Amino acid sequence: MSEVLEVKLHDDAKAPQGQVSIRDLIGRMTLEEKIGQLQQLDASAPDLEETIRTGRVGSVINQADPGKVRELQRIAVEESRLGIPLLIGRDVIHGFHTIMPIPLGQAASWNPVLVEECARVAAEEAAQHGVNWTFAPMIDISRDARWGRIAESFGEDPVLTSVLGAAMIKGLQGERLDGAFSIAACAKHFAGYGTSEAGRDYDTTNIPENELRNIYLPPFKAALDAGVATFMSSFGDLDGVPASANEFLMRDILRDEWGFEGFVVSDWDSIRQLKTHGIAEDYREAAQLAAMAGIDMEMAGDAYAENLGSLVESGVIDLSAVDSMVENILQIKLSLGLFESVDRAEKATNVTSHADKMKLAKEAALESVVLLQNRANAQNRANAQNRANALPLSRDALKSLAVIGPMADQPYEQLGTWIFDGDEARSVTPLNAIKDYVGDDIEVRFAPAMQSTRSKTEDGFAAALDAASSCDAIIAFLGEESILSGEAHSRADINLPGNQAALIRELKKAGKPLIVVVLAGRPLTIGDILEEADAVLFAWHPGVMAGPAISDLLFGVVSPSGRLPVSFPKVVGQIPIYYNHKNTGRPACRDTVVHIDDIAVGARQTSFGMTAFHLDAGFEPQFPFGYGLSYSEFAYENLQISRDALPVGGVLDVRVTVSNNGTCTAYETVQLYVRDLVGSVTRPVKELKDFRKVHLQAGESKDIVFQLHTDQLAFFGRSKAFRVEPGTFHLWVGPNSRDGLQTEFRVI
């Protein structure tokens, strides 16, 4: 915290001109100016320019007009007494103008390099507009598909979220924070926000420390290790203490235990909301609690501006505490190079071309789409001579194609949530991409069938069925509009909205191959269309290049390679459902649950009696974490480990041969899971520990080698510390969390 800041002070700073340290600069600040550095104002705030001029603003949020940003910075640097530049914050979540797949979609790529590259483009575009700080990545573990902000997450697993979160941070911040196109990242929401009750945004969270440490905090520790500049506190309360007043989180863990040296910003007005929570009597006490907890900057509220001064003057808060908060913020401004130049991006020349951005957006969409089902059409299944799967479509065999559904031609809706600056003019829709691909060779008949995904009428069904009946194959684009997911957009019912399921039943009457493509911001319960559809592609909200990517996948130009970053429930009543659950004292399994007509109705007698499951849904998800099909066929063979007994501190080499036994080139995501059979606290039935996305030509085999260190087996247990416990571990390597080859080893 002693790095020297070089800054020219103005003549009226009442100090000699020259080079000073940050602490020297703080020493020259009035209490009002110090508190100003702790305040972030919305761009619409009244008298914003005058407030900046008087040194009472440290950051501005929601201004991305480069000319206006430039003027605000000019006022801060040239007209305020000390010339301290501003942090310009903006939600740049999955792209700025060029919108990539939503983060949950990017997570389905299982490709950290791709996530980093997408973030780099977003940072470049944002920096060119004067933005130097964004509120991403959101690394809340998300186990509830009802929660709207699951779209903004990387899914349910701590390891996958940690890896992808670190990749996004690297993309946003670059090799150096003061790079021309680097912007400060913000790890949010610290902590536990993703487990809000019933999937209701902003709701209560109750997480035992064991679960908090083992599941919800690891991605934040990985973010810190990746050098993230800032953290954001969660809206919600954690075990009765709202995050913005939670000293255990902000001081005990983040500062003292982890040694974080950046700064912490509140979420939008969450300091004043401490009064609403009922933990503070008024805004003065709210400011006191937040400052004492370790919240350095207040976003959009005025609890600090109105109350910190009197709290210091009355001795409730020591001035040195305020100085430390200011220092944390100034250090990030220094690291960003803002004291040298607030417009670094304007002078840069190595700008990514529009063509390269669109190429990356297409690749990201391609790798994010998950093939959930692929089988022969019912008529073809009955014909022993023609049992080809519905996908990929054969361009040579088709003369006509019906494109149906409310999401086929929606340039805005395919972008998804959190796209304040997104340019829908860059969107290429599936309908237009399919038409471009087939040209005049195949007739394309389009019928939207529904005005929106939420429509409940069947007025357009007849025209849709007419189009479907006259064509060789049907592609139905279903899902949910972007407004149905994101912040404050939770759903209690996560079936396909409106009459979409009824539309699929109507289209089934045509008797043609029926392919469903779902564009959505969350997992949906789609069991009611799986029997009707011959193939299902889950595309999330794939961004500007949704169309070309989906078209390539439909026609087999590229094989699908997406894998689920979150389990898909059969029905909403199974939520929360996630792969890394505990075993319980009465575990359910395929051998114990009795099914009649595919409905779980009871359990066979076991040594421990009845087992844990839902009578009407069983115990398994519709699709497990890590799941995804390909147009090729992969085989796993020869699982080998380097030793049966592994000493603490040692490394286990895990080797497996993966073969592409199909006829097309494709990616396979090889996943390594373990289970600690006996621990001082109960352990999950499986835990992802590593993964590798490999590219295999048809007929090619590769030996994949993982190195598993015993540190990866450590957990927070009754000792109140992370440690590895000796014992037996099961180990699997396979294509998802359900299937794979198995062996075991011991830690000694």
SS3 400: strand
The DSSP call for residue 9 is P
3-state SS class at 734 = strand
Q: Are 404 and 447 in contact (CB under 8 A)?
A: yes
The answer to whether 514 and 378 are in contact (CB under 8 A) is: no
Burial 348-375 (b: 16+ CB within 10 A, else e): eeeebeeeebbebbbbbbbbbbbbbbbb
Task: Name the strand (E) or helix (H) holding 621.
Answer: none
Q: Quick one: how far is CA 364 from the chain centroid?
A: 14
The whole-angstrom separation of Cα 153 and Cα 107 is 8
Question: Which residues are identified as catalytic?
Answer: 267
Output the CA angle 613-618-622, nearest 5 degrees. Answer: 130
Q: What are phi and psi of 248, to 5 degrees?
A: -60, -45
Burial class (CB in 10 A: 0-12, 13-18, 19+), 341: middle
What are the DSSP calls for 277-326, one per residue?
HTS-SSHHHHHHHHHHHT--BEES--HHHHHHHHHHHTTSS-HHHHHHHH
**CA–CA separation, 733 and 710 (whole Å):** 17
DSSP three-state, residue 53: helix
Q: What are the φ and ψ backbone dihedral angles of 443, each rounded to 5 degrees?
A: -75, 130
- Tell me how far apart the alpha carbons of residues 555 and 588 are, in angstroms, rounded to a whole number: 40
CA angle, residues 397, 401, 407, in degrees to nearest 5: 140
> Whose structure tokens read 């093939």?
371
Q: How far apart, in whole angstroms, are the C-alpha atoms of residue 472 and residue 495? A: 28
Q: Which tokens belong to 687?
A: 């835990």
DSSP 3-state percent helix, strand, coil across the chain (nearest 5): 30, 20, 50
Q: For residue 127, how many other CB atoms are within 10 A of its CB?
A: 26
**Dihedral sign of CA atoms 335, 341, 343, 347 in order:** negative
At 24, which amino acid appears? D
Instruction: Give CA separation, 307 vs 284, 313, 318, in Å.
Output: 5, 10, 13
Would you put residue 84 in left (φ > 0), alpha (ψ -120 to 50) or beta?
beta
The bridge status of strand 645-646 relative to strand 634-641 is unpaired
Q: What is the DSSP string of 232-280?
A: EE-SSEETTEEGGG-HIIIIIIIIIIT---SEEE-STTTTTHHHHHTS-
User: Cα separation of 352 and 400, whole Å?
Assistant: 39
**Nearest to 292, CA basis, from 320, 269, 331:** 320
Q: Quick one: 553 exposed, middle or buried, by C-beta within 10 A (0-12, 13-18, 19+)?
A: buried
Pairwise CA distance, residues 50 & 82, whole Å: 15
- CA gap 141, 221 in Å, rounded: 13
Contacts of 590 (CB under 8 A, 6+ apart): 620
**Pairwise CA distance, residues 449 & 455, whole Å:** 10
* Bridge partners, residue 190, by sequence: 233
Give me the half-sphere count of Cα atoms (radius 13 Å) on the Cβ side of residue 283. Answer: 14
